[in-house]
Amino acid sequence: MKILATRVGEDALSPGLEVTLRFEDARAPRSLRISATRRHKSLQLASFDGAENASDAEPLVGASVEVSRSAIELAENEYFDDDLIGCTVLQEERPIGTVARILHYPAQDVLQLEGGALVPLVRAFVRDVDPAARIVRVELPPGLVEGEPETG
């Protein structure tokens, strides 16, 4: 079972998807359809219908891309960051913390709990995620989270 938290990013942007571009200045938001996407180094690049060349694309530089939550299909065991933030993390049905944020690393995503403890968001440690109940059940090795007893 793969567990993945997701931001709107490379796996969410796809050709045909309608997005809204929001600008930091006073320009009005603009709706566009993605015509193509590709990866370039660490960036996900998107082309838009109607922006056929550099001159057409220039006014779009720096815009934030918003995607309707309902437009993104998550696979089984994928979650939006916002669905996990604020969840209570339980070990053996005992609360060990609350998810403060999700850290995205190339190898895996990590839950950062209030207080700074880190829990890798991998099947080896995460047993169940229930966003509706606001609970993440884990089975962690002793001492991984501060306050958890160490054996030895």
In a domain, 9, yes or no: no
CATH of the domain at 91: 2.30.30.240
pTM of the model: 0.67
**Same-domain status, 130 and 92:** yes
> What's the pLDDT score for residue 150?
43
**Do residues 118 and 109 lie in contact, with contact meaning Cβ atoms separated by under 8 Å?**
no
Return the number of other C-beta atoms located less than 10 Å from residue 80's C-beta.
17
Residue 151 falls inside a structural domain: no
Single out the residue of 142, 128, 147 nearest to residue 90, CA to CA.
Answer: 128
Q: Residues 26, 56: one domain?
A: yes
- The pLDDT of 42-60, averaged and rounded, is 84
Residue 24 domain-assigned (yes or no)? yes
Query: pLDDT, tens digit, for every residue of 80-125?
Result: 899 999 999 999 999 999 999 999 888 889 999 999 999 999 999 9
pLDDT given at position 101 = 95
In-domain check, residue 143: no
Lowest-confidence segment of 38-47, 54-63, 103-112 by average pLDDT: 38-47
Please choose, from the candidates 3, 5, 2, the residue with its C-alpha nearest in 3D space to the C-alpha of residue 104: 5
Domain presence at residue 42:
yes
Which of 66, 90, 106 is a domain's end point?
Answer: 66
Q: Tell whether 118 is covered by a domain.
A: yes
Burial of 102 from C-beta contacts in 10 A (0-12 / 13-18 / 19+): buried
In the prediction, which pLDDT does 151 show? 45
Based on the fold, state whether residues 49 and 91 are members of the same structural domain.
no
The pLDDT, as a whole number, for residue 11 is 60
Q: Over 80: is that where the pLDDT of 42 sits?
A: no
Per-residue confidence band for 44, with pLDDT thresholds at 50, 70 and 90:
confident
Q: Same domain for 89 and 52?
A: no
- Residue 123: which domain range? 81-138
Q: What is the pLDDT of residue 146?
A: 63
Q: What is the pLDDT of residues 3-40, one digit of tens each?
A: 344 444 456 778 888 989 898 898 999 999 999 888 77
Q: How many CB atoms lie within 10 A of CB 11?
A: 14
Same domain, 102 and 128: yes
Q: With contact defined as beta carbons under 8 Å apart, do 39 and 115 qualify?
A: no
> Which one of 8, 36, 66 terminates a domain?
66
Strand-pair category, 135-138 with 88-91: parallel
How many domains would you assign to the chain? 2
Let me know if residue 108 belongs to a domain.
yes
Q: Which amino acid is at 53?
A: N
Contact (Cβ atoms closer than 8 angstroms) between residue 7 and residue 104: yes
Residues 57 and 85 in one domain: no
Any domain includes 75: no
